[in-house]
Amino acid sequence: MKKTIIFIILTLLTVAPDLVLGQANANAYADRFLNKEMQLIAKPSSKKGWIDLNTDRTFDPINLFADHAKAFGLTDEDQMRVRKVLNDDLGFTHYRFYQYNKGVRVEGAEYITHVNKEGQVYCANGKMVSGLNMTAIPALSEEAALAKVLEMVGADRYMWEDTFWVSNLKNKTGNPDTSYFPKGELVWSKGEASVPWEPENFRLAWKFDISSASPMKEQRIIIDAATGASINTIPLESNCDPTTVSTIFNGTRAIATDTFTYFSNPWYRMQDDCQTATIHVRDWNSSTTTSNPVDIISLDNTWSGNNPRFGGTALWSAKRAYAYFLNEHSRASWDDADGAMDIYINAVFLNSAGNTYTDNASMSATGGTMKVGLGSSGTLENSWSTLDMISHEYAHAVTSASANLVYQGESGALNESFSDIFGEMSEAYTFGGCDYLVGEERTNGAIRSLSDPNSKNDPDTYGGVHWASTSGGDNGGVHTNSGVQNYWFHLLANGGSGTNDNGDAYSVSGIGRLPARDISYRSLTTYLISSDQYADAREGAIRAATDLYGSCSNEEIQTGKAWYAVGVGTGLALYDHVICGTVNTGIRQGINSVVGGGGCSNDASPTVGNVIYKAGTSFTFKPGFTATASGTRSFVTQMDPCSFAAW
């Protein structure tokens, strides 16, 4: 069905009694990023990075950027290359692109074009940079750059030098030619995620993924291709905080093991290959230098003692995470390609000061390697193998294989939060409910709370109390600042009201755990890209809710209201909205009607930028109502897209 979109541009307008206004010139409204070429293809509700395409035109999802290069600020030296095509369960198709300039990839610059089930390209979102104008010839060769990187790392031994890890990688991938040896990639890099997306902030750089065996650590290091100076270091393991071992306290649980021949006798080892994706658990043996983790074995397939119980708990928990994503999201293992999972218990970790510790668990961003610590108390009751925490680590691999959110700053906080969310949802899938506490079964108790982040010294409001500096420790507060999206999810699922740290009153009607988790999963796997921030997570979630439940549905409205509650974006307005006086900049949608005037003594006018109202039925302006535009700021009403009725 073709929809009718009606724009009303008001510049010092006085409206007659009970008049319902008709169509006006949409091109009168333009946000700063909306150049004249962009205005031809995008709706006026679009904003930088989140573009709603005009649905009365036809676009090619693969050639959108080539066909409309000027609209996106691209030159002949820029190229958008398709990286991945995803067909989802709703019949939508999504094309993920990388941006290249002079043949060199722009780190973190990605865009997605979205095609609905009717075959219409309806929106595009992402980040790109315009105006790069530097030489793409590195002063440092790849070999010289790698030598500088290895000098920075200073490991005793690297995985490509270790026979265990070399053999492990070849067996896991089935590729005899694969290697951990780092291959350099030439990129345009601006460094940390918080650095603005301006061309002057980018430098030609070498990027290497370094896997060391002693100490055990995986990290991405980016250095200046001219000077060799460090630009950024990003961990490729997503660490978490202490939790408990829930399955140890939940009675006997079924696991599957594998038979093999050991000294001419049949033995059993802790490996589950009953499904296509194998899960294999080994003992890391509490060492940072162990090069040969050992299988946990049994002669008669009975498992008692600390290590068998520890390994069995991790195996069962990982299998439940696998089952959750498979059965609830139709995802075939963490990579959606039946990827194997290797788990190592009794793992030891290295902190930034070079000290070892065991209160941790991690997941390799390069895929399929999970490490689980016993904990400093040395007791199973404080190990890191609870169901929600193993599922948390498993979800990190899901994120790495989809949005690949950089583990730093706001994108890293979102990475952690999605793992907390799906850790709890895996727990709910298994037990029929969850408590929204991360690792609560441990003797030491929960380390994070989705229902009350402040109770664990985490923020429940963006930039509010307990918010950590995004340029500080913990990779820019990735564990702490995860509390904002965690609380958003809890409000969306369960509802709540109050006043946030910004002084904004909010009221959210919960839509239930299952719709909330489906919105989160679709946002993560369909819309988000590696460099996305909290504002992008809001956009992705609202769009996911629209896809799943319909435009202006209650689920979409509550999704937006929950983000407003945690200090991200403006709220989606209630039905029958009344305009009176100064109107805050932003978009209000899901409105049944808008009523202005009445007893208002002030004009309705934008405070900073454009004001956009999306209504479902009508805009009614009462006698005496006036609206004022100022400079480039406009007051816009838009019949889109709740109802297609014309007046």
Same domain, 409 and 497: yes
Same domain, 228 and 257: no
Residue 171 is inside which H or E element, if any?
A: helix 163-173
C-alpha 431/C-alpha 440 separation (Å) is 15
The pLDDT score that the predictor gives to residue 24 is: 30
The pLDDT score that the predictor gives to residue 502 is: 94
pLDDT > 90 in the chain, percent: 55
Same domain, 407 and 358: no
C-alpha 488/C-alpha 50 separation (Å) is 21
pLDDT in tens, 396-428: 999 999 999 999 999 999 999 999 999 999 999
Same domain, 35 and 156: no
The pLDDT score that the predictor gives to residue 47 is: 87
Same domain, 105 and 151: no
| 630 DSSP assignment | B
The amino acid present at 88, given as its one-letter code, is D
C-alpha 296/C-alpha 288 separation (Å) is 19
pLDDT in tens, 482-503: 999 999 999 999 999 999 999 9
C-alpha 402/C-alpha 529 separation (Å) is 8
Reference 522, options 402, 392, 430, 400; nearest CA is 402
Q: How confident is the model at residue 643 (pLDDT cuts 50, 70, 90)?
A: very low
pLDDT in tens, 277-314: 888 999 987 766 666 788 888 888 888 888 999 999 99
Same domain, 512 and 581: no
DSSP for 317-378? HHHHHHHHHHHHH---TTTTS---EEEEES--EE-TTS-EE-S-EEEBTTSSEEEE---TT-
Average pLDDT, integer, range 386-398:
95
Q: How confident is the model at residue 618 (pLDDT cuts 50, 70, 90)?
A: low
Beta bridge partners of 280: 271, 342
Q: What are phi and psi of 573, to 5 degrees?
A: -65, 160
The total number of structural domains that make up the chain:
5
C-alpha 359/C-alpha 355 separation (Å) is 12
Same domain, 551 and 417: yes
C-alpha 545/C-alpha 538 separation (Å) is 11
Per the listing, tokens 């000294």 go with 263
Average pLDDT, integer, range 121-148:
95
Judged by average pLDDT, the poorest of 94-108, 128-142, 585-599 is 585-599
527: CB partners within 8 A, 6+ apart: 112, 114, 125, 539, 540, 543, 544
Same domain, 97 and 114: yes
Beta bridge partners of 79: 100
The pLDDT score that the predictor gives to residue 14 is: 32
Q: How confident is the model at residue 190 (pLDDT cuts 50, 70, 90)?
A: very high
Same domain, 191 and 66: no
Q: Is pLDDT of 44 > 90? A: no
Same domain, 266 and 185: no
Average pLDDT, integer, range 328-355:
89
| 248-257, 478-487, 556-565, 608-617: range with highest mean pLDDT | 478-487
The pLDDT score that the predictor gives to residue 567 is: 94
- In angstroms, the Cα distances linking 357 to 15, 154, 444, 534 are 70, 20, 16, 31
Judged by average pLDDT, the poorest of 86-95, 541-550, 564-573 is 564-573
Q: Is pLDDT of 624 > 80? A: no
- CATH number of the domain that 298 lies in? 3.10.170.10
The pLDDT score that the predictor gives to residue 300 is: 82
Which of 133, 165, 186 delimits the end of a domain?
133
pLDDT in tens, 512-525: 999 999 999 999 99
The pLDDT score that the predictor gives to residue 20 is: 30
Which of 349, 376, 397 delimits the end of a domain?
397
DSSP for 33-99? T--HHHHHHB-TT-BTTEEEB-TTS---TTTHHHHTTTTTT--TTEEEEEEEEEE-TTS-EEEEEEE
Average pLDDT, integer, range 180-190:
95
Judged by average pLDDT, the poorest of 145-159, 234-248, 344-358 is 234-248
| 583 DSSP assignment | B
Instruction: Retrieve residue 210's tokens.
Output: 């370094």
CB atoms within 10 A of CB 557: 24
Residue 183 DSSP SS3: coil
Reference 413, options 491, 492, 476, 500; nearest CA is 476
Q: How confident is the model at residue 625 (pLDDT cuts 50, 70, 90)?
A: low
Which domain range does residue 99 map to? 31-133
Same domain, 371 and 382: yes
The pLDDT score that the predictor gives to residue 538 is: 94
- CATH number of the domain that 82 lies in? 3.10.450
CA dihedral 512→515→519→525, nearest 10 degrees, is 130
- Average pLDDT, whole number, for the chain? 83
Which of 133, 161, 190 delimits the end of a domain?
133
The pLDDT score that the predictor gives to residue 299 is: 86
Q: Is pLDDT of 438 > 90? A: yes
Q: Is pLDDT of 264 > 70? A: no
Per the listing, tokens 């929106």 go with 123
| pTM for this entry | 0.76
- CATH number of the domain that 479 lies in? 1.10.390.10
Strands (E) located in 190-318: 203-214, 216-224, 230-235, 258-262, 265-269, 271-272, 279-283, 294-295, 297-298
Same domain, 115 and 230: no
Q: Is pLDDT of 384 > 70? A: yes
